[in-house]
Copies of this chain bind each other. A is one copy, B any other.
Amino acid sequence: MRVELITIGDELLLGFTIDTNSVFLGGELAALGVEVARRTTVGDDRDAIAAAVRDALARADGVITTGGLGPTSDDVTMDAVAAALGVELERNATVVARLEEIWRLRGRSEPLPPANLSQAMLPRGARVLPNNHGTAPGVYVERSDKHWVAVLPGVPREMREMFSGSVRDLVRAAAPGGVVRSLAVRTTGVAESRLPELLGDYAEGVDGLSLAYLPGVEGVDLRLTARGLPGADADEKLRVAARKLSARLAPYAYAEGTTDLAEVVLAHCRSAGRRLAVAESCTGGMLGQRLTAIAGSSDVFAGGVIAYDNEVKIELLGVEREAIERHGAVSEEIVTAMASAARRRFGVDLGVGITGVAGPRGGSVEKPVGTVWIALATPDEIVAKQLRLFGDRDEVRRRAAQAALDLVRRSFAG
């Protein structure tokens, strides 16, 4: 089955909004074994939408649109879809009743304004898709030739719930066997250009699965993709191939799928019965934020000190003023003092320290922007490492936090 997506909205064309809806739908449809053949984005223009829907229906079996269902005058999708299908709009009594109910629940005594009633005008013959998070209903319309159009709202939360609640089943019922499934092996601390060398004969693919390199700020993901296999076979092949890749990429590979490095670190600590605290300077809380983003992190993560100001390093962490004056705040001496202070102050097994020059100012010839020291204090030792990171302030901070997490992870590997 061939499906096309049409995302609607001036803001998408003008570059104000990132089209995350098509990312969600592309992934969901692939999981059902349905590949999106084409994606089109048009503005809030009735004729442009109608033409795009008509063109897509001529090529594909199904079309999903998102956006343009609000109550205001620039929301013209229903009208355009009806035109593309050659049917009339008609007022849907169920939807009118729901809109009036929402209106009353909001405590309004005057009657529903006509503008809101526009959301009850749906293409004749359409199946209504309820919206539990907003006022705009979606619709699913099937033509006599079985080609169909699903019309969803543009608000991501509403769109996702509507897809999961009704459209997914309608698509699944019509979908062929075989799925498109993927599994990524996540790496950090290694340049993308080094990977093909490390992978050798796996550089282009593994066991008939295709391989894609996806570089990001925190590392490179290697995505394996299986096409056209039954679901269980695809999963098994992906699992085996991912294990092969991970073995070649040790010690850089840290997880499969979408698992964050913070989660891997928490799991290592948990099974070793170790607790963790942090002392952050240039990352300003980002490392704590990464760790606490994982639900249930409190058994491992005790807390931290954001020692942004040097006085905080001195007062709360007990770093010596003279040491800062002699070596500078971005130095091996200070980062090791921070890591062991974190360990000591929080009464935990592992203390992590980060201090660096995130930029854009504050760099020097000796310590340019991107110079970052990270350290890990354990009951047995303190290890420190200097990094030279590239990128803007945000990238330097994200790479520093990732490298600090990786320092903890790799301490468990030995």
Contacts and interface: CB of A to CB of B under 8 A. Distances in A.
B291 A298 contact: no
A143 interface: no
A40 interface: yes
A301 B310 CA distance: 11
A286 interface: yes
B40 A39 contact: yes
A119 interface: no
Given A27-B15, A295-B361, A303 B306 contact: yes
Contacts of A10: 212, 225
Contacts of A20: 18
Contacts of A12: 26, 39
Nearest to A212: B11
A55 B307 CA distance: 57
Contacts of A306: 278, 285, 288, 292, 303-306
Contacts of A295: 358-361, 393
A293 to B, nearest CB: 7
A101 interface: no
A309 interface: yes
Nearest to A30: B14
Classify the secondary structure of A's interface with B: mixed
Contacts of A106: 193
B15 A18 contact: no
A233 interface: no
Q: How large is the interface on A (under 10, 10 to 19, 20 to 34, 35 or more residues)?
A: 35 or more
A308 B284 contact: no
Interface in A300-329: 301-309, 311-312, 315-316
Contacts of A292: 282-286, 306, 308, 397
B361 A296 contact: yes
Contacts of A291: 284
Given A38-B52, A289-B289, A316-B316, A16 B182 contact: yes
26 contacts: A11-B214, A11-B223, A13-B36, A13-B39, A14-B26, A14-B27, A15-B22, A18-B18, A39-B41, A40-B40, A72-B204, A283-B292, A284-B301, A285-B292, A285-B304, A285-B306, A289-B289, A292-B308, A293-B393, A295-B360, A298-B308, A298-B309, A303-B316, A311-B347, A312-B346, A315-B345
